Amino acid sequence: MIGAELEKLLYTRPLPDTPEQQLAALLRWAKGSKQLVARELGVSRRTVQRWTARRASARARPSVRHAAVIATRVRARWQPLVRARRRAAAEQQGLVVHTRARFGFTAGLGSTDDPRHRLVTAVVPGEVARELLAAWEAGVSERQQEVILGRALGHVYFRQAGRRAETLRVKFRDVDFIEFGLAQPS
């Protein structure tokens, strides 16, 4: 969920979903050359021809392994300038995080640590955006991304950037939804 939303943040147009759409994008970038696409994917030209046959009944589907390679190649080449510009903006200005999730706490005596759903909108600094984007690109698990985001939201939202409740530890779980936006320059 977090990775999909980070992907939405970085691109202005959604990535092609199906292998057919992804192959069409690869062919468009190769100016229609099935030979170049075949070389890039490590398959024969005939295989690419079978995957892109005009008649649906004659069209073969790529294997799971080949579909993953196709998706990786498309993702690497999809809107590179837009992705770089939006990533730089996020790392410099920070991210607006809007989420509804279960937040729990471990704090000092006299406070409750019962987790409950909260609707939170906060601006996290660019360092967090950098860490979160690097973790997503490295393929870390969703749970590890939640830990990074929970630590940042705990600091910014609940501890008010170190001005209160400094011993409070925030647990961020059960994300109902999450949306990211670029923070406005200050």
Verify that 110 and 143 share a domain, yes or no.
yes
Report the predicted TM-score, pTM, of the whole model to 2 decimal places.
Answer: 0.67
Q: Note down the domain range covering 136.
A: 85-182
The model's pLDDT over 89-118, given as tens digits with 9 standing for 90+, comes to 988 988 998 988 877 766 556 555 567 778
The model's pLDDT over 50-85, given as tens digits with 9 standing for 90+, comes to 998 888 888 888 999 999 999 989 988 888 888 889
Report the candidate in 178, 181, 182, 183 with the shortest Cα–Cα distance to residue 2: 178
Domain-embedded: residue 7: no
Distance (Å, whole) CA 62 – CA 178: 32
Residue 79 half-sphere exposure toward CB, CA atoms < 13 A: 16
Q: Which of 35, 56, 77 is the last residue of a domain?
A: 77
